[in-house]
């Protein structure tokens, strides 16, 4: 098993749609970026690629490349999962934290978990998404943008592992 950590942040930009975790959130400015600005997808890409030592979102999808201009970040995430599988790894689970004052993330969590779970080939039960406030501090608190942290656990395809809990229980993964 291997673990990767990802991070992304973007400023809000009027005139763009807000897309997080592949879900469009209406009535809110979108995120500035070369692609669609989906910071959840970008942080997850970094976590997945990092777990297998395959670089980061910028090394695979450079911002200077017109091929990725206004790209759907779910397609970039899909390609990253293919890269992972090409290295004989699969996603076990992911955990994502969106840090922002606005929009409220909670109402969109079920849709994000479903969308990401399908794309990552693990189902929504193995995808955690949560929103946290920055308590009014800094650029996030000033509602200039948002940041995302992501953690991904991956495992070699076809190699089951047994996790033993502190209470003596086991879980085959």
Number of domain units in the chain:
1
Q: Is 15 exposed, middle or buried (0-12, 13-18, 19+ CB in 10 A)?
A: exposed
Q: What is the pLDDT of residue 160?
A: 60
Whether 62 contacts 124, CB under 8 Å: no
Label residues 55-91 b or e (16+ Cβ within 10 Å = b): ebbeebbeeeeeebeebebbbbbeebbebbeeeebbb
Q: What is the pLDDT of residue 158?
A: 78
Residue range of the domain that includes 106: 2-172
Q: What is the mean pLDDT of the chain?
A: 89
CATH number of the CATH domain containing 77: 3.30.1330.50
Cα–Cα distances in Å, from 103 out to 32, 36, 154? 15, 17, 30
CA dihedral 110, 16, 144, 49 (to 10 degrees): 60
Q: Rounded to whole angstroms, how far apart are CA atoms 157 and 27?
A: 41
Q: What is the pLDDT of residue 59?
A: 72
Q: What is the pLDDT of residue 171?
A: 44
| Strands 89-99 vs 127-132: parallel, antiparallel or unpaired | parallel
Per-residue pLDDT tens listing for the chain (173 residues): 999 999 999 999 999 999 999 999 999 999 998 888 999 999 999 999 999 998 887 676 767 766 666 678 999 999 999 999 999 999 999 999 999 999 999 999 999 999 999 999 999 999 999 999 999 999 999 999 999 999 999 999 976 655 555 555 444 45
Q: What is the pLDDT of residue 168?
A: 52
Whether 24 contacts 18, CB under 8 Å: yes
Q: What is the pLDDT of residue 166?
A: 53
Say what the pTM is: 0.88
Q: Rounded to whole angstroms, how far apart are CA atoms 106 and 93?
A: 20
Query: How crowded is residue 159: how many other Cβ atoms within 10 Å of its Cβ?
Result: 11
């Amino acid at each position: 098993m291997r673990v990767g950590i990802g991070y992304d942040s973007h400023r809000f930009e009027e005139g763009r749609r807000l897309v997080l975790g592949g879900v469009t959130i209406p009535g809110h400015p979108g995120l500035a970026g070369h692609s669609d600005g989906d910071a959840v997808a970008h942080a997850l890409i970094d976590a997945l690629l990092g777990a297998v030592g395959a670089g980061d979102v910028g090394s695979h999808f450079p911002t200077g490349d017109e091929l990725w201009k206004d790209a759907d970040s779910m397609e970039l995430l899909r390609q990253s999962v293919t890269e992972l599988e090409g290295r004989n790894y699969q996603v076990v689970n992911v955990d994502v934290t969106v840090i922002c004052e606005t929009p409220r993330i909670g109402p969109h969590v079920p849709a994000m978990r479903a969308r990401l779970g399908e794309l990552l080939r693990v189902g929504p039960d193995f995808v955690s998404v949560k929103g946290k406030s920055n308590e009014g501090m800094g650029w996030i608190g000033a509602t200039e943008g948002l940041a995302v942290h992501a953690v991904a656990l991956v495992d070699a395809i076809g190699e089951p592992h047994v996790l033993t809990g502190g209470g003596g229980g086991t879980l085959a993964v």
